[in-house]
Amino acid sequence: MSEETVYKVKVGEKEIVIDEEVLETLKEYVHREMSLEDLSRRLGLSDWREGYEFIKNVPAWILWIQPTLWKTMRTMKKATDEVSKTA
């Protein structure tokens, strides 16, 4: 089985895996009024400082990816890898 690409953002000793749920939270943070405290709580971080570190460390392009597009990209990558293995 192919190894799946997983995007992680390091915050202190923690690593946040970027998935559809995290992207939904980021989308809400960018487009609506959400404090760093709320962002931190939703991501399981300890305080607003960790939320700030998370936002600083997230690549900018990830902030603008729609969660459904992220899921589609992962699905297509898996399918491409499977076809490559059988060829």
In a domain, 56, yes or no: yes
The helix/strand/coil state of 9 is strand
pLDDT tens sequence across 3-31:
567 889 999 899 999 999 999 999 999 99
In a domain, 67, yes or no: yes
In a domain, 72, yes or no: yes
In a domain, 2, yes or no: no
In a domain, 1, yes or no: no
- What ranges make up the beta strands (E) of 6-77? 8-11, 14-17
Structure-token match 């990558």, residue found: 77
The answer, as to whether pTM is greater than 0.85, is no
Our count of domains for the chain comes to 1
In a domain, 31, yes or no: yes
In a domain, 70, yes or no: yes
pLDDT tens sequence across 55-77:
999 999 988 888 888 888 888 88
Question: What is the span of the domain harbouring residue 71?
Answer: 8-86
CB 86 within 8 Å of CB 78: no
